[in-house]
């Protein structure tokens, strides 16, 4: 009881912020309903070695990320970067909201920071990209990758944009990145996930039937034809398996300078 009282003000602040975010997403969800998509691939993709995971979500995305983070063990070491569509003109409490339920580190992206284990969240009104320390091809690991923030024009009416993050991750990591599109009510992430697949990376999409808003998953499925479409529980288990597979991999990654 004492612990609850001590954190009461923070919890109230997070709850108010979440209500505000959910309210702002409600119109997006209502205006962008799409019909069901038949014929989804339900077999998990091969557990190819990956050095990072990128995620994108919009309407309903806070709840989806909370579910994923609460299911990952403290021993999880794969770096993850996420874009969640939240209001661009208001302070974000997303790191605090997610960190309260996570067993791994959660932080907001800062320009030039190195990509480290844990979850990095794109800040409001900035695109987040991945970049390497030097041009050309070289054999290295995620420790040679850093974050870059940009206030370039909106992409898919969004800043941050999922497409921007996903495309940069494909250019940097080649086949050694996994992209995941979660619930949302617009088409952001569809082209980015297609780029990841074109570079040989792994692609997963939350099942539209489970998603709070199905348009984003369905757009990603239509564009990228991902190897894996599943409810959140299946995606969580796949993410954990990717990290276990990484632990047994010693080859490193070929990073592509952009």
Per-residue pLDDT of the chain (258 residues; tens, 9 = 90+): 333 344 454 545 454 444 444 444 444 443 343 334 444 555 656 788 999 999 999 999 999 999 999 999 999 999 999 999 988 877 788 999 999 999 999 999 999 999 999 999 999 999 999 998 765 444 445 668 999 999 999 999 999 999 999 999 999 999 999 999 999 999 999 999 999 999 999 999 999 999 999 999 999 999 999 999 999 999 999 999 999 988 766 454 444 444
pLDDT in the model for residue 143: 63
pLDDT in the model for residue 33: 38
Single out the catalytic residue among 51, 85, 158, 163.
85
pLDDT in the model for residue 248: 66
Task: Write the CA distances from 221 to 20, 46, 67, 161, 192, integer angstroms.
Answer: 29, 18, 22, 18, 12
Q: Is the pTM of this model over 0.75?
A: yes
The token duo for 171 is: 């250019």
Please say if 58 is a catalytic residue.
yes
Task: Write the CA distances from 242 to 17, 51, 71, 218, integer angstroms.
Answer: 33, 9, 14, 24
Nearest Cα to Cα of residue 160 among 188, 124, 189: 124
* CA–CA dist 211, 141 (Å, integer): 33
pLDDT in the model for residue 6: 43
Single out the catalytic residue among 58, 158, 168, 212.
58
Give the CATH number of domain 2-33+44-256.
3.40.50.180
Task: Write the CA distances from 55 to 4, 18, 50, 103, 200, integer angstroms.
Answer: 31, 19, 14, 18, 17
* CA–CA dist 221, 94 (Å, integer): 27
pLDDT in the model for residue 257: 42
pLDDT in the model for residue 82: 98
Single out the catalytic residue among 51, 144, 163, 188.
188
Please say if 85 is a catalytic residue.
yes
Cβ atoms 207, 237 nearer than 8 A: no
Segments making up each domain of the chain, as ranges: 2-33+44-256
């Amino acid at each position: 009881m004492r612990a609850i009282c001590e954190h009461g003000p923070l919890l109230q602040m997070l709850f108010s912020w979440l209500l505000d975010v959910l309210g702002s997403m409600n119109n997006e969800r209502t205006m962008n309903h799409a019909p069901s998509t038949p014929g989804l691939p339900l077999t998990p993709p091969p557990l190819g070695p990956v050095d990072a995971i990128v995620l994108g979500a919009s309407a309903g995305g806070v709840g989806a990320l909370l579910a994923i983070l609460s299911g990952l063990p403290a021993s999880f070491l794969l770096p993850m970067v996420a874009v969640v569509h939240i209001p661009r003109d208001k302070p974000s409490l997303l790191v605090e909201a997610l960190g309260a339920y996570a067993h791994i580190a959660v932080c907001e992206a800062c320009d030039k920071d190195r990509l480290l284990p844990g979850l990095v969240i794109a800040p409001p009104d900035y695109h987040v990209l991945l970049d390497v320390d030097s041009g050309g091809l070289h054999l290295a690991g995620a420790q040679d990758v850093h974050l870059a923030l940009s206030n370039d024009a909106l992409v898919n009416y969004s800043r941050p944009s999922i497409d921007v993050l996903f495309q940069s991750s494909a250019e940097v990591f080649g086949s050694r990145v996994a992209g995941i599109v979660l619930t949302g009510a617009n088409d952001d992430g569809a082209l980015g996930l297609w780029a990841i697949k074109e570079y040989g990376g792994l692609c997963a999409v939350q099942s539209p039937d489970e998603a709070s808003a199905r348009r984003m998953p369905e757009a990603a499925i239509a564009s990228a034809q991902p190897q894996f479409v599943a409810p959140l529980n299946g995606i969580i288990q796949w993410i954990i398996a990717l990290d276990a597979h990484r632990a047994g991999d010693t080859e490193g990654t070929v990073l592509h300078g952009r």
